[in-house]
């Protein structure tokens, strides 16, 4: 075969390092690509900020005077304290829609086909996207925390605990982008991914302890709210920020009693389940 082999161009791609190292480097290449996109389309990041900021202001001033948090006074300031972790958590979960739309767009434009024909790690396209979304979520949280501080919110139990609280929020957001990735791979258009990524988030985030305490909900909803994975992170963050009023009656449900553990377990479980499903879907993806 020598004669023909010589005629053929020498270029086969170098053998990949394989395994974890290649997964990490490929994921970073993909994350970089998505971060460059975010810088070049700043509208996405900016619009992503407007909604949570509006929520902070609306909830604080419109509902603040009317919602009584058990165990505290009736003043609007105590509701603002209570509310912020809920808004932070809702904001991080909205990254789901961005991840879904981005991946659906890549499918739609044939980029996923290109990536799948390259000798790259299988999960890297999705991991890269979710990592870039994590960076965006972190930036959003920083801006939001500043706005929250301006309307009177603060964390009372020291910086390490506050950072731990933000850590749990980011982990939840990261877990949810894997749900978004699966949605993005499953729908036909980026538009469908956006609405498909948002529509279930409203009931999920409202049937929770994010905006109102669960004590006043009907029995069935109360259980749903207290076992909601989203609630666990909200309560954990509230606890770590020292935003729970001193006399707040903690519900008996296990996740509400051990919110930090519940938050970690829920987020890890979501990542494992949805990453597995999304990567499997990616391998068989047909544009």
Partner 1 sequence: MPGAIYAEGLVKAFGDVKALDGVDLDVPESTVLGLLGPNGAGKTTAVRVLTTLLRPDAGKAVVAGTDVLKNPTAVRRSIGLSGQFAAVDEYLTGRENLQMVGQLYQMSGRDAKKRAKELLERFNLADAADRTAKTYSGGMRRRLDLAAALVVSPPVMFMDEPTTGLDPRNRQQLWEVIEELVAGGTTVLLTTQYLDEADRLAHDIAVVDHGRVIARGTSDQLKAQTGGERVEVVVHEREEIPTAREILEGHALRGAAGRESCTVEEHTRKLTVPVTGGAKLLAEVIRELDTRGVEIDDIGLRRPTLDDVFISLTGHAAEGEPEQGKDTDNQPDTDTDASPNAAQRKEATK
Instruction: Round to whole Å and give the CA distance between 176 and 99.
Output: 9
By the rule CB under 8 A, 19 interacts with partner 1: no
Nearer residue to partner 1 within complex by CB, 114 or 156: 114
Instruction: Round to whole Å and give the CA distance between 147 and 83.
Output: 13
**What sign for the dihedral angle of Cα 68, 264, 157, 155?**
negative
Binding track over 31-60 against partner 1, x by CB under 8 A:
-xx--xx--xx-------------------
Q: Which window, 27-35, 65-73, 199-207, 258-266, contacts partner 1 (CB under 8 A)?
A: 27-35
By the rule CB under 8 A, 133 interacts with partner 1: no
By the rule CB under 8 A, 109 interacts with partner 1: yes
Nearer residue to partner 1 within complex by CB, 115 or 274: 115
By the rule CB under 8 A, 13 interacts with partner 1: yes
Ramachandran bin of 13, using left for φ above 0, alpha for ψ from -120 to 50, beta for the remaining angles: beta
Q: Which window, 15-23, 48-56, 153-161, 269-277, contacts partner 1 (CB under 8 A)?
A: 15-23
Instruction: Round to whole Å and give the CA distance between 87 and 63.
Output: 13
Mapped onto helix, strand or coil, the DSSP state of residue 119 is coil
Tokens 């300031």 locate to: 77
Nearest residue to 125 via CA among 104, 156, 153: 104
By the rule CB under 8 A, 17 interacts with partner 1: yes
DSSP, residue by residue, 153-183: ----S-HHHHHHHHHHHHHHHHHHHHHHHHH
For partner 1, the binding residues in 110-129 under the rule CB under 8 A are 110-111, 113-120, 124
Contacts with partner 1 by CB under 8 A lie at: 1, 4, 6-17, 22, 25-26, 29, 32-33, 36-37, 40-41, 109-111, 113-120, 124, 286
């Amino acid at each position: 075969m020598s004669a023909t082999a010589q005629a053929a161009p020498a270029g086969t791609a170098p053998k990949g390092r394989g395994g974890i190292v290649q997964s990490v480097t490929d994921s970073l290449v993909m994350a970089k690509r998505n971060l460059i996109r975010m810088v070049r389309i700043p509208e996405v990041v900016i619009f992503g900020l407007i909604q949570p900021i509006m929520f902070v202001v609306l909830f604080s001033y419109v509902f603040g005077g009317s919602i009584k948090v058990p165990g505290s006074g009736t003043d609007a300031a105590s509701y603002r304290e209570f509310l912020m972790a809920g808004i932070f958590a809702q904001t991080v979960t909205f990254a789901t829609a961005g991840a879904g739309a981005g991946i659906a767009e890549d499918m739609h434009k044939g980029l996923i086909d290109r990536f799948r024909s390259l000798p790259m790690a299988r999960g890297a396209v999705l991991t890269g996207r979710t990592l870039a979304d994590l960076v965006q979520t972190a930036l959003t949280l920083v801006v939001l925390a500043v706005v929250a501080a301006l309307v009177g919110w603060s964390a009372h139990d020291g910086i390490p605990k506050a950072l731990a609280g933000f850590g749990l929020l980011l982990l939840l957001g990261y877990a949810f982008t894997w749900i978004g990735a699966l949605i993005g791979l499953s729908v036909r258009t980026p538009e469908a991914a956006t609405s498909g990524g948002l529509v279930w988030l409203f009931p999920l985030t409202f049937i929770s302890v994010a905006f109102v305490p669960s004590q006043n909900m009907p029995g069935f909803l109360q259980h749903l709210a207290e076992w909601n994975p989203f609630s666990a992170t909200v309560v954990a963050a509230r606890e770590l920020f020292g935003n729970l009023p001193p006399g707040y009656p903690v519900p008996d449900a296990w996740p509400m009693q051990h919110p930090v553990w519940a938050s970690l377990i829920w987020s890890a479980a979501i990542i494992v389940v949805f990453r597995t499903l999304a990567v499997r879907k990616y391998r068989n993806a047909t544009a």
